[in-house]
Amino acid sequence: CKKIDKMSDLEELWKSLQEAVNSKSLLKKHLTPARYERLKNKKTKFGGTLADCIRSGCKNPDSGVGIYACDPDAYTTFAEVLDAVIMDYHKIEKVAHPQPSFGDVNNLGFGDLDPSGELIVSTRVRVGRSHASYGFPPVLTKEDRVNMEKASVEALQSLEGELHGQYFPLDGMTPETQQKLTADHFLFNDSDRFLKAASGYDDWPTGRGIYFNQDKTFLCWVNEEDHLRLISMQKGGNLAEVYRRLVKAIEQMEKKLTFAKKENMGYLTFCPSNLGTTMRASVHIKIPKVSQMPDFKDVCDRYNLQARGIHGEHTESVGGVYDISNKRRMGLTEFEAVTEMMRGVNEIIRLEKSA
Ligand code: ADP
Ligand code: CIR
């Protein structure tokens, strides 16, 4: 019943997008009337619709991207609009992506980005992964979520050594524990209105949970925005340690599960901004001076960096601390993505220290 209601709202969604004349979203820019006409009656193999992809962006005209893929097949069925968004976001001239390549992990060419320990509070690198045989949130059932959780947890529980840990389902976790884990930047919650409008919190908290090792330096989010988010993080600026740990986790998980990939797109994710490497390498960094400079945004653009607040996307900075990460994830290798972030952060540190 819910699914039928949702399908019939396409015209209304389109109308509100037309009325959102000030929207700067990539959806607004690339879903032209001609494209809308050609795509409006199409359906994916999973039964997903254009409405399922654009609902969040139409209901939230302040979206940056504004479109999600309702399932892996959307990247084919709705390619006309999604390809345009992808090329724009990742700054690539055609939709193409190299084979995964993590570089020589024993000789990365970077180590601790802030040996003095003055500016970088913590470092985190994450990737998203999707089970090859399931859709994304708009087309998932409660049963799908439970089955995916089971498969993910089974794979996670096979991890060894430093990656060995325990799984904590959200269902049954006390609100106090949830709040503490979230405030400490380890856990997600259901407060992102963009993701909410995209069905990201349907059946909440069923099927959701977090896995982590003893030190909380390796974590995995289960059924948040993506089916899995593999995360490596620690205090300070040692990007090499964080990256190496993540690569190890990716390699071990790949042996246990089959992830959704597409020839020219790399790994598939719910949001087109995460395709390809799916990698976001970030630092929480104290930059009270640089962040106040009039050309802060230009510096970020020049180095392909994205600045976020410290409680995640769409949050504010606190005390001059920003989350600085690589913006592009597609059309470059994992090693190139992390290197892009490293170069940009080095420049930001140089500017802060000389300001
Ligand atoms: P993602 O795209 O990785 O899901 P979000 O912006 O939603 O990113 O952030 C997820 C969580 O990770 C938030 O709690 C955020 O504060 C935390 N986080 C991101 N980068 C860092 C970092 N370098 N150090 C500590 N926590 C971080
Ligand atoms: C937006 O368009 O602003 C949101 N839908 C978020 C887009 C990128 N972020 C993400 O995938 N987490």
pLDDT at 162: 98
138: preceding bond cis by omega (within 30 degrees): no
* CB atoms inside a 10 Å sphere around CB 150: 12
Domain ranges of the chain: 2-90, 120-354
pLDDT at 315: 84
* CATH homologous superfamily for the domain 2-90: ATP:guanido phosphotransferase, N-terminal domain (1.10.135.10)
User: Is 63 near ligand 2, meaning CB less than 6 Å away?
Assistant: yes
Spatial distance between the Cα atoms of 126 and 247, rounded to a whole number of angstroms? 10
Tell me, in angstroms, the distance from the centre of ligand 2 to residue 354's CA. 33
Residue whose CA lies nearest to ligand 1 atom number 12: 185
Give the residue carrying structure tokens 């609100």.
175
CB 300 within 8 A of CB 307: yes
ipTM higher than the 0.85 cut? yes
Which are the contacts of 29, defined by CB distance < 8 A and separation ≥ 6? 88
Residue whose CA lies nearest to ligand 1 atom number 18: 185
Q: pLDDT of the chain along its 355 residues, tens only? A: 445 555 569 999 999 999 999 999 999 999 999 999 999 999 999 999 999 999 999 999 999 999 999 999 999 999 999 999 999 999 999 999 999 999 999 999 999 999 999 999 999 999 999 999 999 999 999 999 999 999 999 999 999 999 999 999 999 999 999 999 999 999 999 999 999 999 999 999 999 999 999 999 999 999 999 999 999 999 999 999 999 999 999 999 999 999 999 999 999 999 999 999 999 999 999 999 999 999 999 999 999 999 999 988 888 888 899 999 999 999 999 999 999 999 999 999 999 999 9
pLDDT at 313: 83
Specify the CATH number for 120-354; select among 3.90.1010.10, 3.40.190.10, 3.30.590.10, 3.30.310.10: 3.30.590.10
pLDDT at 59: 98
Helix, strand or coil, per DSSP, at residue 165: strand
pLDDT at 1: 40
pLDDT at 6: 54
Ramachandran quadrant class, 334 (left: phi over 0; alpha: psi -120 to 50; beta: rest): alpha
Domains 2-90 and 120-354 share a fold: no
Spatial distance between the Cα atoms of 150 and 109, rounded to a whole number of angstroms? 38
Taking each helix axis as running N to C, give the angle between helix 334-354 and helix 239-256, from 0 to 180 degrees, rounded to the nearest 10.
Answer: 160
Tell me, in angstroms, the distance from the centre of ligand 1 to residue 312's CA. 5
Residues with CB under 6 A from ligand 1: 122-124, 126, 185, 233, 280, 282-284, 308, 310-313, 323
Sign of the Cα torsion 178, 229, 329, 244 reads: positive
pLDDT at 5: 52
- Ligand 2 atom at minimal distance to the Cα of residue 68: 5
Q: Shortest CA distance to 278 belongs to which of 151, 172, 132, 126? A: 126
pLDDT at 3: 53
Backbone phi, then psi, for 318, in 5-degree steps?
-125, 125
Which are the contacts of 4, defined by CB distance < 8 A and separation ≥ 6? none
Spatial distance between the Cα atoms of 257 and 237, rounded to a whole number of angstroms? 31
Spatial distance between the Cα atoms of 268 and 183, rounded to a whole number of angstroms? 29
Range list of H helices, 264-325: 296-302
Burial pattern 292-326, b for ≥16 Cβ within 10 A else e, equals eeeebeebbeebbbbbbebbebbeebeeebbbbbb
CB 268 within 8 A of CB 275: yes
CB 53 within 8 A of CB 197: no
What's the helix, strand, coil split of the chain in %, to 5?
40, 20, 40
User: Is 23 near ligand 2, meaning CB less than 6 Å away?
Assistant: no
- Ligand 1 atom at minimal distance to the Cα of residue 124: 23
State both tokens at 85: 């968004």
Range list of H helices, 198-263: 239-256
CB 146 within 8 A of CB 296: no
